[in-house]
Amino acid sequence: MKKLFSNIKGDAFGGITAGIVALPLALAFGVSSGLGPSAGLYGAIFISFFAALFGGTNTQISGPTAPMTAVSMVIIAGIIAANDGDVNKALPAILTVFLLAGLMQIGLGALGLGQYIRYIPYPVVSGFMTAIGVIILVTQILPSLGYYPKEDTEYVNQFKAQAEEVILENILKEEANEGILVLEDFRETINRAEKITQEDILKESQTLAAKNASGVLGSLKVLPRAIKNINWLEVILALGTIFIIYGFKRITTKVPSTLVALIVMSAIAILANLDYRPIPQIPEGLPEFKSEIFSNFNISSITPYIFTALALALLGAIDSLLTSIVADNMTKTKHKPNKELVGQGIGNSIAALFGGIPGAGATIRTVVNINSGGKTKLSGMIAGVLLFVILLAIAPLASKIPAAVLAGILITVGIGVMDYKGLRAIPSLPKDMKLGPLKLSSEVLIMLIVLVLSSFWDLVYAVGIGLVIASLMFMKKIGDLTAERSDVKSLKEEAWKDEVSFPENLKEEVFIKHIKGPLFFGSTSDFQALSLQIPDTASKVIMRLDRMQYMDQSGLYAMEDMLQDLKSKGIDVLFVGLLKQPRYMMERIDIIPDFIPKEHIFESFDDCVVWIKNNVDDKY
């Protein structure tokens, strides 16, 4: 407790400054997510406070971030679409998924998995971050042009036939659940269909229109319509915001340019009484506890999103721990990764219980905190308290912020979050693989695959596919290197120092094999060819295993197959220098002693030579 209050002045300045920087982003991320500005603000309040209190990085400022919002946006849109486009109906399931993600983060920290996050390859992270930038940038073009697909009557009408099909399908599902046989009682279906109003069809059409226009592909698909129906006032507000954000940084970086842009452009719109589109209403008063998460809990509604929740938890972990590394480098301290994950999980869980969107450690806000004097957890807690006070004090005024202003802020976030360092490195990375006639860099290929799949298909699957490809390529490289170093050569071609004095007259009868690295799935194919390279004159094979530190299951069975093959040819195998782990593996499936009796295992080559002299006759 004493340490917590050891830097009150610095922590107060750091926390207040970070909170001010977080305000416009929290509102923007909330609107972008689909749950409204209040969800972004609630997320920023609770995650900032509780992640700081329970986390393992003293100077970390947490809250909604671009990557977390991009994934949350997909989850929210999917669950809303599955609930007839009704946000209120979908909200319990959405928040349950967010709560589950928070609990999973706590589990990751409790299991001590925090230190393994660093093994995610850079190309996967780079492709993902650039994709996040592309998604945010492209999806904010429509609101910055003042175009909302649900409000475009001509566009919505295109989905009326599909809407009627969906409504009829829902009726049939209801009847099936109630045990009504449709073909036997078709009048019941007709009666229910007759109760459907034009308003119901319109609502379903709007839901389908919004879904069709969502994401990068959807936004690009309706972009021509958006340009055709452009609202110049919204465009001017968005461009003005972008101009101030980039322009004000040239004047000073002490005052957050995002906040300046938010205040200036909102003031112009409000005071000039312009006919602009405001953001959704921010509820006044204290955030409400969402008890419907538990009272309306339905396992079937969240089952399809279990893996998505896990992906959200992992993404939050990566996002937070990368920020923790930045904080460590700036403060010359060392964070506790597992404790940080527990803190982030608690913050996200509590935020979900009050209707907030999930978040993670935010790099820019953490850097601002450190530069402003923040040194302890108190700074992150102060940032959360400040946002809570702002919520209570200016919620009605904040509800008048133009939507186009937040769209402009998000466009700059999208541009800023892209990994330009990774993109600039593309021409200089070594081209280490062939794809048909083309020579490519495997790392560039992984980055581009993740980038394209994340932008145009699915963020979660894209990262999974990227990790699998990166792992396979890594395995191949290690396998190639191991095979290259573990080549099969006879004694005449290569001899280790202690083999120089091997009896010259027995070299035809004895073949010596050196294994110079781990025997695993990447090197088994070359190893299996060993029996083909043994001369016909040999009756004994000495296997030098001094440098075979590790053997996996693939290597184990390759060894078994090879020994079986040699045994069928009447060739005895002797082991020299067998190490602990490979020996344990071979004893588990009885290679020792079934194929290799213990008297054929020698600690040193000299001991093996003594046995050879006593048991092998010179026949050639």
* Mean pLDDT, rounded, for 443-458: 87
Q: What is the pLDDT of residue 479?
A: 65
Compute the average pLDDT of residues 394-411.
86
SS3 of the chain: helix, strand, coil, percent, to 5: 70, 5, 25
Average pLDDT over residues 128-143: 88
Give the Cβ contact number of residue 427 at 10 Å: 8
Q: What is the mean pLDDT of residues 352-358?
A: 94
Q: 198 versus 300: which is more confidently predicted?
A: 198
The pLDDT of 585-609, averaged and rounded, is 89
* Arithmetic mean of pLDDT, 602-620: 86
Query: How remote is the C-alpha of 102 from its chain's centroid?
Result: 15
Whether 223 shows a pLDDT value over 90: the answer reads yes
Is 297 in contact with 53 (CB distance < 8 Å)?
A: no
Q: Is the confidence at residue 230, as pLDDT, over 80?
A: yes
Structure token pair of residue 359: 């978040």
- Per-residue pLDDT band for 531 (boundaries 50, 70, 90) equals low
Q: What is the pLDDT of residues 73-120, one digit of tens each?
A: 888 888 887 787 778 888 988 999 999 999 999 999 999 887 777 677
Comparing 38-42, 398-402, 503-507, the range with the smallest average pLDDT is 503-507
Q: What rounded mean pLDDT belongs to the chain?
A: 84
Q: Does the pLDDT of residue 305 top 60, yes or no?
A: yes
pLDDT of residue 526: 64
Rounded mean pLDDT of 315-341? Answer: 85
Which whole-number Å values give the CA distances from 609 to 332, 472, 575, 600, 616, in the listed order? Answer: 57, 41, 12, 12, 10
Residue 343's H or E segment, with its range, is helix 337-353
Q: What is the structure's pLDDT at 207?
A: 82
Q: What is the pLDDT of residues 470-514, one digit of tens each?
A: 888 877 776 666 656 554 444 444 677 777 778 888 888 888 888
Residue 22 burial (CB < 10 Å; 0-12/13-18/19+)? Answer: buried
Closest CA relative to residue 391, chosen from 19, 118, 121: 19
Q: Give the model's pLDDT for residue 511.
A: 87
Can you tell me whether residue 140 is helix, strand or coil? coil
Structure-model confidence comparison of residues 225 and 550, the more confident one = 225
The H-or-E segment that residue 541 falls in is strand 540-544
Instruction: Tell whether the model's pLDDT for residue 166 goes beyond 80.
Output: yes
Residue 306 one-letter amino acid: I
In what helix (H) or strand (E) does residue 124 lie, and over which residues does it extend?
helix 122-139
* Token digits of residue 575: 């082991």
* Exposure b/e, 234-260, CB count within 10 A at least 16 = b: bbbbbebbbebbeebeeeeeeebbbbb
Count of C-beta atoms within a 10 Å radius of residue 196: 16
The pLDDT, as a whole number, for residue 457 is 84
Which range (14-23, 127-136, 146-155, 491-500) has the least confidence? Answer: 491-500
